[in-house]
Structure 1
Amino acid sequence: MSADELLPPFPADAFERVLCVVAHPDDVEYGTSAAVARWTSDGIEVGYLLLTRGEAGMDALSPDEAAPLRRREQLAAAEVVGVSSVEFLEYPDGVLEYSLGMRRDIAVAIRRFRPDAVVVGSWEMEFAGGMLNHADHRVAGLATVDSLRDAGNRWVFPELVAEGLEPCSPRWLLVAGDEAPTHGVDVTGAPLERGIASLEAHEQYLAGLPWHPPPRALIPRFTAEEGRRMGVEHAQLFRAFDFQAPMGASTE
């Protein structure tokens, strides 16, 4: 790949606060958490919003048993990469349905955290090299995209302003796992190690998946593939939408 074809990093001053919105505990940890580790080490504040508690994700445990366990493991995973702001909603795991209520809840989180950038996973049927995407992931991604406009419009969910939540319009939408990435984050070295450790923090969840590769074998493989597209050893790639870019301008 020629130098002209390599994906660029984000500008150094692109954002100061980032909110990651995902469906389940562990969703951030499949590569994105290495980018989070890089961001927090650079002084960027990162928060997580999880739409479910992952209670349907462990065949050997009932939802009532799984939910608190997965919550604990997610909090530990977030701590590894420097994230202390972690919010869990209680939408039902495995059967997420797009709704106005979900859009409102995500808009509330955006207005509270007031990020410059919001990170989501792909809402496409296929992602990351042709894998079939989970239905919950698709719902979470699409609802979050729509919530970005809700968060910035005082006349959508107008009761939020009365509750002291003024509109907030993040500049950036960053989509992980998109087939057409535009930017990358170099996670070589310590960020990658912390990203691996963050997935390892889901110890009991992963123990129930005997087919699952060890995080130390899995994550570097992904990040090395993405690093080649950025010209570095390891990277996490995103498709970036810059809502302050001139009309018709490319984010590349």
Structure 2
Amino acid sequence: MPTSRANGSLYTKIDGKIATVEFGHPASNSFVAELLDRLTAEFNTLSDNSAISVVVLKSEGDRAFCAGASFDELMAVSNLEEGKVFFSGFANVINAMRSCKKVIVGRVQGKTVGGGVGLASACDYVFASEDASIRLSELTIGIAPLVIEPAVERKIGTAAISELSLSPSEWKNAYWAQEKGLYSKVFDSMKALDKELEFFVEKLSAYNAEALEEWKKVLWKDTAHWDTLLIDRAAITGRLVLSEFTRNALSKFKK
């Protein structure tokens, strides 16, 4: 059963060398600050767990993978510091995924928006369903995908992120996302996806954990500066969310 908790839910199940992290929120698996903080802490904990070598990241239910930032919490931001703190939540999760010593495999079962696209981009390998369309809708509410841009651009390139972000009301389908490099594999049924995902992570977890850790460092080379870059971007986004444009846009969406 999907969670009904206003602060969302986070569960981790460890089976052999594989940890499965599942997050959820009643509003289409969107992120409130508390859930972002818990997810960051979980990745940091799993990074230091020598018993595991692979992490699977998934969300609750069979519909949206992640609707990005919580609208209620965006509406509640009332000053620059609150804005910076809220968007730093996404910065911290992406940095925790980037620096996690374990390979992270994403399971994207449905539509994903904004910060959810950033989350998928921070995975090392992604299994997606045909329903896993993506959208960067930030410009429609007066902000921009500044915090997640480094992660998304690293996966799909500048041209594709330009196309995606400058048409913020347009969905790109899962095959577009696969062609651009965000998704590794796309399946026409969740049954087929889960079967292949299980086979893949079992195989991956049997490899030398030290080799996987060293290889992940190479895959994420030249990203150490993200520790400060993403927080700086969070501060800019925090300023934008206080704009009159954004206040009006959020009010309209809320209605």
- What is the TM-score normalised by the length of structure 1? 0.29
- Greater relative CO, 1 or 2 (CA 8 Å, sep 6+): 1
- What is the TM-score normalised by the length of structure 2? 0.28
